[in-house]
Chain A
Amino acid sequence: MATITTAAADDVTVFEGGALKRRLQQVERKRKMKALALVSPLLIFIIVSFALPIIYMLRNAVYDPDIHDTMPLTTQALEQWDGQDLPGEEAYAALVADLTAAQQNRQTAQIGKRLNYEISGIRSKILASARKMEKMESGPYKEAVIATDKIWGERDTWAVIKRNGSPFTAFYLLQVLDLQKDADGEITFVPPERQIYIDVLIRTMTISLSVTLMTLLLGYPLAYLLAALPTRIANLLMILVLLPFWTSLLVRTTAWFVLLQDNGAVNDMIMSLGLSEGPLKLIFSRAGTIIAMTHIQLPFTLLPIYSVMKGIPPTYMRAARSLGAGPVYAFRRIYLPQTLPGIAAGCLLTFILCLGYYITPALVGGPSDQMVSGLIAEAMNRESNWGKASAMGAILLSATMVLFFIYNRLVGIDKVKLG
């Protein structure tokens, strides 16, 4: 007996002394590795398709080495320049050397395009003067260069080149906030007739907010109806909500485009009911944009609210009523607070999705309903100005983050519930 006990005790001591711990750790580590292996495809997918592009976009908004790379001598020569008067002879000599090299590497057009962002109209002047500079054989250059075009006798031109000497630039971020740097490096607003980006950003927020509120107003009672009705009828109605949800966004937008015409079905009905004399301005207007977007977004707001409502036992309301609460009071104090997590989730989902809309406002909206994504697509696809597109993306992303932060403070993200 004694031997057995000793053996058992020995065993225990051995395990307690580290082997058990080690074994446990091993098992735990194995389990962790397994879990990691299981989630890693998704993790890698998210990093490659979501996190990296965002980081790349944010970098692109401030990183633009074009001038730094194509005009190395000039930007270096300008480092000593105080920016007060025109730069000295060595800067002009460097310019001639840089532009001659650029001509040979066919990079002049790129320099022209980049500087044209900051000084409109300078592109073709640079191209023309570069052709002349290529033929210059010896100095002094200053007079000769200014003679090729008077842009080289202006402080502004040199200030812009000097500013772009660093591969990092605030230009795009300033531009999409309607700001610019003048020759002295002071940040000022662009002239009012060119201010557009802040307006568009505010407009994007306003439209998204309006659509979110509309979907809430329409979706909440509907969700309540669906949750309260017997399953068979509720399912039928649910299909009516989900059918458009499964239809392509473009198809639904085009349908609204037809319905909202001046002589379309909606206006015909309004006029035949005698609600309005002439056709209402529905197509190419803010009203049309909000109607179409509300229709598309309704399921996104409704579904989370519905699934939260499904989980609220009807007995709570009955109990409140039997304890003497009126219907409004009972709704406000008992029912509404319980549905808040669903409202929070639905509204957040709709609001964030709305921020990215661009086909719908382009098709049924008017000229003053263009949203940020429309401008981003134009900068990206047509102007090939990826810096500006990235900067707009970065501003939209930060504005959304700020709103999300406020939302979190007000509602609390831990309270958000999808069902």
Chain B
Amino acid sequence: MQTRFVTRLLAGAAISLIGMSAAAAADLTVVSWGGAYQESQRKAFIEPFTSETGAKVTEEEYNGEIAKIRAMVETNSVTWDVIDVDTQTALAGCAEGVLEVIDWAKLGLDRAKFIGGDVTDCAVPNILYSTIIAYDADKTPNGPQTIADLFDTKKFPGKRGLQKNPFVNLEWALLADGVPLDKVYETLSTPEGVDRAFKKLDTIKADVVWWEAGAQPPQLLADGVVAMTSAWNGRIYNAIKSEGKHFVIMWDSQAYDWDWWAIPKGGPRLDEAYKFVSFASDPERMADQTNYISYGPANRDASANVNPDILPHLPSAPDNLKTAFGADPIFWADHGEELRERFNAWLAQ
């Protein structure tokens, strides 16, 4: 590999300045996505970790920018020890060699126990979250029942909120167009399948409000801007639980995906990072996290410990899984860029 001298010089200067103050005091720096999600991690993992081991944990937030991780690793100035990454970042980070290859023996964990544990070598599955359709029962008493209703503007007039990304939207379009669940990615791998998905999306294009940040969909529902919207299930559950909204989640065709713990390569506190990931993957602590946010624990053993009142709100609940599909990380790593280009071109038409 070529030395990337200039980046090292530039980024190193910047990062060492930023990193110095944070790294000096902490025994460990954990980075996540902020908001209710990081709060749940704080209560379930970080605070117990500090009280049990005495290690001081500094928290930071980011927005999934792999560029930040890459700059740190390439300049040998890693200050983030453990990072919560999404699937795209886990795969790309692994391909570029900026994430540590996980030594499961060192973690003391059984890889087979983790849903999706074999997807990548560089990250430990942490939670399952899901992209679902939600509506406001106050405004739409008889809400959508199946994914076909998302595309039925006669039965359900009004705007629909969808994420500004081909991800999941293309799968839903095919499902609503009659493609069986187990043939979705096979169909989407062919040019005809992609055409078919975009053609189906065409039918509601004029009725879509596109969202980008996870906080937007509950707001769109609350403001009455949309009749229904796609959303991440935890955000909707939070609005129901803490804001008393009468939102309803339609679990039909929910698309689940992972978040992961990853360790950047070349960090100075590798052993502590392993200790933390191992600690946070414990089935009981993972089950405890569901008390604070409704994401499913990726460790299969954790389900038994989940509070029975909360279980029906998790993507991993058996009832919710009947028509669910996993957003295929391999498919999206292979075809993501091409489909995003095509999606952007389609949006601009």
Contact = CB atoms under 8 A, between A and B. Distances in A.
Interface string A355-373: 0000000100011101000
Given A106-B101, A199-B348, A384 B96 contact: yes
A116 B337 contact: yes
Given A106-B101, A121-B189, A199-B345, A384 B10 contact: no
Interface in A193-217: 193-196, 199-200, 203
Given A52-B10, A261-B223, A284-B209, A110 B96 contact: yes
Nearest to B205: A367
Contacts of B1: 69
Contacts of A263: 223
Interface string A32-70: 000000000000000011001101100000000100010
Interface in B157-186: 164
A107 interface: yes
Interface residues of B, number: 46
Contacts of B287: none
B6 interface: yes
B192 interface: no
A262 interface: yes
A69 B2 contact: yes
Interface in A234-290: 261-263, 284
Interface string B332-348: 01111110011011111
B210 A284 contact: yes
A56 B6 contact: yes
Contacts, number: 108
Contacts of A116: 333-334, 337
B304 interface: no
Nearest to A385: B337
Given A112-B95, A384-B67, A117 B345 contact: no
A162 interface: no
B200 interface: no
B249 interface: no
Contacts of B344: 196, 200, 370, 375
B64 A367 contact: no
Nearest to A122: B334
Nearest to A120: B338
7 contacts: A109-B95, A122-B334, A123-B333, A380-B65, A380-B67, A381-B64, A381-B66
Interface of A: 48-49, 52-53, 55-56, 65, 69, 106-107, 109-110, 112-113, 116-117, 120-124, 167, 193-196, 199-200, 203, 261-263, 284, 362, 366-368, 370, 375, 380-386
